[in-house]
Amino acid sequence: MNSPVRSLDKPKNHVTWLRFGLKANWQQFVFYAIVMLLACVVTSIIGIENNLEDIRQGFANYYTREERGGELFKTITLVFSVVSCVLGVFSGMTSTGYVNSRKAVHCYHSLPLTRDTLYLTGGAVQGIYYLVSALCSVLIALVMIVVRLGVTAELLGEGLMQILAGIGGYLVVFTLFQLAGALTGTAIFRFIMAGIIAFLPVVVYLLVYWGVDIGMNYILVDKYTDFNFIRFLCPAVNIYCSMAAAFGELDSFTGGSYSRLLDLLNIGTLYLTAAVYCGLGLWFHRKRRSELSETSVLWKKLQTAVKYPVIFVAGAGGAVFFRALFGTGISWMLFGGFCGLVLSFLLMNVLISRNTRSMFKGLPGLGITAAVVAVFLAVIPFDVFGFNYFMYDTDQVKSVTVYYNDMTLELDEPDEIHAVMPYIEGMSRGAYRNDGTVPADEQYAGETAFWIDTGKVLNRNKADLDALQWAYADRAVSLGDGSDPVYIWMSGRQFDVGYYDPEIYMKDYAAAMEDGKEYVTAVSEQYGGDYSFDWERLEVSVYPKFGLPIHRFVRVGEVSENAAVFDILHGMKEYKNRYTEIGTLSANDLYTLNITLMGAGVDLLPRYVEEWTDSMRGQYCAMLDVLLAKVSQYTPDMAKTPVIGTIHFGYEDTYRMYPIYAVMTEFLNEWANFCETVPGFIRSVSLDLSSMFPKSFKEYYDMLRYTNYTLYEDAEDIMDWVSSFHRFTYVIEADTGRALYIDESRRAEVLENAMIQAHGSTKGEREKGYLIVSSYYRTDEMMEGLDKLFAENLHVDGRNVCCLFRKDAVPQFVLDAFAE
């Protein structure tokens, strides 16, 4: 054998070959250019014209021309990014496409060009075509937008970041397909291999996660569920996150807060991934044997490495899926596992050997995989080895970390550990049974939620609600449009499974409510009516002196039953300090202040009621400061009383949430006082004018997956749209919750005087002008008002837009209504 293998390639060869490649494949450049021009330039032209028309008509003029230009540029760059990723597939398939033809391989590999040259220059040709066409197109688009509308510096920055993300996405997809090509010998298998590289790790992960979740085994769960981990496993998620990071939205997905530098680093991970793929692809391309082109997977070992994990995923996935679909019985699980194993085995054999005669090749391997699947099912969902119950002895524990109420509390004093460990162990053991289910499932079944627009079940307790759901399904009355889930009933210790069954529809709301009430009443009677909300879920990590840490969620039934644990937690310095912090905040510093008591939440938004005078705002803020001061009065007794609500802040770039305990009587008194004072002050009402958003808000809602919004440009359009499905428009009195109805003829009056609030939860959002919609459900009376609407079978979409009226411009009929 020739050894060592060495490349005697010269840079001149690369350049010569690259030049030839660029010249010879000019048609591909034309293709790239056409796609990019359509994506960027044509879209820009359309966007500019629409914006200019909006400006001419005076629609939503609180957006400046430059802001509109910036938003349009951002949109263009987003389109640019998506199109780039699609073009990445094309580039990856064509750049080393010759390897899929034996004839071509013989030709190319006989030429005085190294495999490195062929791989790198082939890629460079595509990359150059893409970059030239992409950058020219986006530059033309930018120039057009700047000239016609202008662009704010910040939005320009975000757009440029998105371009970086788009190019990164292109490179990731491109190099992924190149890598897949280096590993395979046919175009079809290149696709399959790209999919396997991109998704197999994350599918395995999700399968384990899902298996764990369904089995209610919380070992490791949530330690690795953040996007940062998944994006590491899956390039598609990485691209998605990087695109979000470009717009400063990554924190929406990760729950963290990021600076622009971190956003840039996030985008940088795409380039890093592409570099890794490129390096791996080059290495495999060097190693691939020319004679193996036109075979599915080039290496026998790789065939095995691809084939059996896929079969495992299909087998385990089938078992878990059928178990989830048809309950915890083992028969369906076995059926699902069998189907997944056998079908994927046959399919993989056909794909790899490219003939149906080899369909049954490797039966021993199938047997081994089936055994591995069986072990997986036994270990994860059924926990036959008792991993769920394993806990270190207290003496072996070095420290315990408890994540509780948005705080990470570390217990490392022996006294603290000794005090808390028996509870943790007890809570952990008590939560699970041998078959992986939680006793509470059956005991407290009763929660379900629906998307009101489609009636699809969003959330239900997995065990005992089947009969109830089918009862809903039998009643066929459509509920109309809307987006938010409506929890028709909620029991005390509900446990979310977090999946929905698209086949189940809620058809008759009122009947469903009745069923729900009856059901819960029955359960309540059976279990002694114990339906308080005072349970807690703690995320606990136990670090031993030697060995691996154990991460678990433990569910604490009654807080009062486990008071000792909470005494310790609440007595910790960090916990106290966090409450003390509240008192140091000023209402003026906050972008969001939400107080939720007994399930009814209020957004208190002092800063952005634009019509207020300084004096009014000052007075209001002073009242809020008093409230904040009262919340901060921490007492050790708090833990012994139930949590009755939350207070939620948004300031600068972070959010924080603290529980409100029943013992906070001073705060509650102040709150009652506040509620009495404020309604007359704000004079707000809630209207179902859910369509009244300017364009950027539409984007915001799209981002939140409220995808069904249509943009309306004037009040008449909105009215037409509202009338199409709202038979009644209603006004709910803010302070009493009384429901009043607006006469159809007065809608225009409402629309004319309505003032859209543009405020955000954090400083960053505020600057972008996001609208935070909020519900003004504050009192029991209001809930009764809603109940009344439900009872009359009217549409309530669960999300009321807070609509403040301009000062001295509240429609008379609204004033009349409140005066009644």
Partner 1 sequence: MIRAESITKYFDEVRSLHDVSVTVGNGSIYGLIGSNGSGKSTLMRILSGIYQPDAGSIFYDGEPVWENTAVKQQIVYLSDDPYFLPHCTMNDMRDFYRSIYPDFDTERYETLTKQFGLNPRRRIVTFSKGMQKQVSVLLGLSCRPKYMFCDETFDGLDPVMRKLVKSLMIEDVAEREMCCIAASHNLREMEDMADHIGLLHQGELLFERELDDVRTNMVKIQVSYKKEVCDGMEARLKELHPMTMERRGSLFTMIVRGTEEGLSPWLAETSPLFCEYIPMTLEEIFMMEMEERGYEFTGQILG
- Residues making contact with partner 1 (CB under 8 A): 1-3, 5-10, 13, 16-17, 19-20, 23-24, 101, 103-107, 109-115, 117, 289-291
13-to-99, 216, 587, 646, 781 alpha-carbon distances in Å? 20, 60, 68, 68, 82
Cβ 274 to partner 1 shortest distance, Å: 25
Helix (H, G, I), strand (E, B) or coil at 751: helix
Cβ 27 to partner 1 shortest distance, Å: 9
Helical H segments across 184-299, by residue range: 187-214, 227-233, 235-246, 250-254, 260-287
| Nearer CB in complex with partner 1: 109/640 | 109
Distance between CA atoms of 426 and 389, rounded to whole angstroms? 10
| Nearer CB in complex with partner 1: 282/647 | 282
Cβ 300 to partner 1 shortest distance, Å: 8
| Nearer CB in complex with partner 1: 285/552 | 285
CA 88 to chain centre: 25
| Nearer CB in complex with partner 1: 26/725 | 26
The residues, any chain, with a CB within 8 Å of residue 528's CB and separated by 6 or more, are none
Distance between CA atoms of 754 and 722, rounded to whole angstroms? 16
Distance between CA atoms of 165 and 271, rounded to whole angstroms? 9
| Nearer CB in complex with partner 1: 10/727 | 10
462-to-129, 325, 448, 619, 780 alpha-carbon distances in Å? 53, 9, 10, 50, 30
Residue 665: CB atoms within 10 Å: 12
Helical H segments across 96-186, by residue range: 102-110, 115-148, 153-183
| Nearer CB in complex with partner 1: 108/189 | 108
Cβ 86 to partner 1 shortest distance, Å: 23
Cβ 122 to partner 1 shortest distance, Å: 13
Cβ 241 to partner 1 shortest distance, Å: 38
Cβ 304 to partner 1 shortest distance, Å: 14
Contact call for residues 305 and 200 (beta carbons, < 8 A): no
Q: What are phi and psi of 410, to 5 degrees?
A: -105, 125
| Nearer CB in complex with partner 1: 107/672 | 107
| Nearer CB in complex with partner 1: 361/398 | 361
Contact call for residues 255 and 272 (beta carbons, < 8 A): no
| Nearer CB in complex with partner 1: 108/240 | 108
Token pair of 253 as six digits? 């997905």
226-to-230, 249, 250, 356 alpha-carbon distances in Å? 7, 15, 12, 42
Rg (CA), the chain: 30
Cβ 278 to partner 1 shortest distance, Å: 19
Helical H segments across 288-360, by residue range: 300-326, 330-353
Residue (of 370, 462, 387, 425) closest to 219 by Cα position: 387
Cβ 6 to partner 1 shortest distance, Å: 7
| Nearer CB in complex with partner 1: 27/613 | 27
661-to-2, 494, 598, 658 alpha-carbon distances in Å? 78, 21, 11, 10
In 8-61, the DSSP E strands lie at none
Distance between CA atoms of 523 and 446, rounded to whole angstroms? 8
Cβ 183 to partner 1 shortest distance, Å: 17
In residues, how long is the chain? 820
Pairing of strands 684-687, 729-733: antiparallel
Cβ 722 to partner 1 shortest distance, Å: 58
Cβ 285 to partner 1 shortest distance, Å: 12
Token pair of 660 as six digits? 């409100």
Distance between CA atoms of 567 and 420, rounded to whole angstroms? 10
| Nearer CB in complex with partner 1: 22/52 | 22
118 burial (CB, 10 Å; 0-12 / 13-18 / 19+) is buried
Cβ 129 to partner 1 shortest distance, Å: 17
| Nearer CB in complex with partner 1: 105/814 | 105
Distance between CA atoms of 209 and 316, rounded to whole angstroms? 12
| Nearer CB in complex with partner 1: 301/573 | 301
| Nearer CB in complex with partner 1: 23/573 | 23
Sheet holding 457-460, edge to edge: 457-460, 448-451, 485-489
Cβ 1 to partner 1 shortest distance, Å: 5
Cβ 441 to partner 1 shortest distance, Å: 54
| Nearer CB in complex with partner 1: 23/705 | 23
Cβ 104 to partner 1 shortest distance, Å: 5
Backbone dihedral region for residue 529 (phi beyond 0: left; psi -120 to 50: alpha; all else: beta): left
CA 42 to chain centre: 31
Residue 546: CB atoms within 10 Å: 7
Contact call for residues 585 and 628 (beta carbons, < 8 A): yes
Element (H, E) at 619: helix 614-631
Provide the residue type at 691 as one letter: S
| Nearer CB in complex with partner 1: 10/418 | 10
196-to-226, 336, 396, 552, 724 alpha-carbon distances in Å? 22, 22, 42, 31, 47
Cβ 165 to partner 1 shortest distance, Å: 34
Cβ 310 to partner 1 shortest distance, Å: 22
| Nearer CB in complex with partner 1: 102/398 | 102
| Nearer CB in complex with partner 1: 107/371 | 107
Contact call for residues 154 and 69 (beta carbons, < 8 A): no
Distance between CA atoms of 711 and 693, rounded to whole angstroms? 8
